[in-house]
Amino acid sequence: MDYFPIFLKLQGRACVVVGGGEVALRKVRLLSQAGARVTVVAPALVAGLAELVHQGRIAHRAGTFVAADLDGVRLAIAATDDRAVNQAVFEAGEARGLPVNVVDDPELSSYITPAIVDRSPLVVAVSTGGGVPVLARLVRARLESLIPAGFGALAGFAARFRDQVKARFADVEARRNFWESVLEGPIADAVVAGNIASAEAQMAQRLAEPDAPSGAVYLVGAGPGNPDLLTFRALRLMQQADVVLYDSLVAPELLELVRRDAERVFVGKQRANHTLPQEDINALMVRLALEGKRVLRLKGGDPFTFGRGGEEIEELAANGIPFEVVPGITSASGAAAYAGIPLTHRDYAQSVTFVTGHKKDGSIDLDWPALTRPQQTVVVYMGLSTARELCAAFVAHGRAADTPAAIVEAATTSRQRTLTGTLATLPGLIDAAQIKSPAIIVVGEVVSLAERLAWYRGGNPDGVAASKVQDDGGEG
C-alpha cells in the first residue's frame, strides 16, 4: 500500500489553494463542502472563484505565492500550470509538516486527492495512487450506480439509534445481527425511499420485539422490457427480494436480474385465463410479508398505469404491511420511443390518452367521444385481442379510416416488431404478422412519423419499413 488512506476533519480549519483557474475552483468546492476556511492565492481568478469571493464564502489574496501563505494552515493544494510555483508550495508545506497536494503531480504531493462518492456522512474514496486517475473515476462511476443516494440518510438514521441499540443488546454478536437485519431490510428501504416516519415506527417496533417478522412488499415497475431501462432502485430491490411475484408482461431478460436464490412465483394474468385471481394475489402478498419475507411484486411497465397497483396497495395498507411503489417507464412511453412515434408533437398532437383495450367485464364500451377528438394520440394497452373491434369502433365514432395506426410488439427488446398502417388496415397486418402479447397500439397522426424517425429495429432488420411496404401492397 503506497498511501495510507485517511479522512481529515477540516471543519473551520484554514486551508490554502494556490491557483485561480478551473482546476483550483474544483478543489475549492471540495474543501468548502468539508467545512474548511479556504483562502485562494492567485494574481487573478476565474469567474466561479470570483463569485465565491464576492459571496464571502472564500478569501482571496491577490498575488504570487510566498511561503508565508502556509503559516497557520492545515492543508494546501497547488493547482497552477507553473511547476516551479507548485514545487515551491510543496517545499513550503514539507518544511511546515503540512499535507500538500499538487494536482496531477504525485512526485510533488504528500497526499493524493481521491475520487469521491459522497453520501455524507457516508463517504467512499477511490485512489490509484495518482497513477491512473481515469481508472479511479471509472470505479467511482460504478460505485455511484451501486450506492443509493439515500445511503447518507441511512447512515444518519442508524447513528441516531446507536445508543438505543447498544442498550437493548448487550451482546456484541446480537447487536451485529440486529444491525444487519435493519440495514438490509424494510427499515433501510424506507429510509432510502425517504419515508422516515415509517422507518422510525418500524425501528421502534423492532427494538421492542427484535424477533418479530419484518416483511414488506415492493411494487416495482420493470419498464417495457429492456433491462437497461430499469431504475437503479428497481434493480437493487430485485437483487434483495426473498420472493418474486411476476406475470407474463415481465420480459424474461428481466427475471435474469433477480436474486438467484429468490423464490419465483408466476401469477400471470391473460385475458380470460387468470393463473391467480387478483384477490388471491393480494392475499399471497400479505401472507408472505407476515412471514417476514421481502416480497417483490414485479410488474411490466409502471405499477400505477393499468398495473392494478392501486388495488394491491389498498390491501397491503388495510393489513398494516409496509410497502413501497417504485415507478417504471410505462409501456406506452417505451414502445413509442423505440418505434420512433412521438406521443405528442406540435404539428400533429397536443394531447395523449392512455386507455385499456377492454373493461373489467371484457367489453370495449369506452368513452369514444373523448377518444376520437382531433389532434390527440391514443395509446391502447391490452388491445391485441380486440384490435379489429377497436379499430372499427374508432371509425364508427368519427375517426377517419385512413387515420395512421401502429402496433408495437415486445417493445424495447430484441424481439420488437413495429407494424404501421391505418385504422382500416392495421387488423389485417396484425393477423398476417401473427403479433403476440405484449403489444401496444398507437392511434393518431404522429404514427406517420414512424417511418422517418424509427431508430431501433429490434430483431427485424427491415423494421418499420418492411411493414410499410406490406401495407402498400408491395412484394415485401
By annotation, the residues acting in catalysis are 247, 269
Q: Is the peptide bond before 186 cis (omega within 30 degrees of 0)?
A: no
Residue 163 burial by CB count (10 A; 0-12/13-18/19+): exposed, middle or buried? Answer: exposed
Residue 334 marked ligand-binding: no
Residue 347 marked ligand-binding: no
- CA triplet 339, 343, 349: central angle to 5 degrees? 135
For 103-251, list the strands marked E by DSSP: 115-119, 122-126, 216-221, 243-246
Query: Chain-centre distance of CA 103, in angstroms?
Result: 33
Residue 332 marked ligand-binding: no
Taking every pair of C-alpha atoms in the chain, what is the biggest distance, in angstroms?
A: 89
Distances (CA, A) of 112 to 4, 85, 99, 209: 10, 18, 10, 47
Residue 302 marked ligand-binding: yes
Residue 182 marked ligand-binding: no
Residue 301 marked ligand-binding: yes
- 8-state DSSP, 393: H
Distances (CA, A) of 93 to 72, 197, 379, 439, 476: 11, 49, 67, 67, 76
- 8-state DSSP, 108: G
Residue 121 marked ligand-binding: no
Residue whose cell numbers read 443516494: 149
Residue 285 marked ligand-binding: no
Note whether 19 and 42 are within 8 A (CB). Answer: yes
φ/ψ of 405, rounded to 5, equals -145, 150
Q: Is the peptide bond before 121 cis (omega within 30 degrees of 0)?
A: yes
φ/ψ of 39, rounded to 5, equals -115, 130
Record the cell numbers describing residue 355, joined without a space: 386507455
Residue whose cell numbers read 411494487: 219
Dihedral sign, CA of 443, 449, 452, 454?
negative
Residue whose cell numbers read 411475484: 245
Residue 411 marked ligand-binding: yes
Record the cell numbers describing residue 255, joined without a space: 427475471
Residue 382 marked ligand-binding: yes
Binding positions for NAD(+) are 22-23, 43-44
Binding positions are 22-23, 43-44, 224, 300-302, 382, 411
Binding positions for S-adenosyl-L-methionine are 224, 300-302, 382, 411
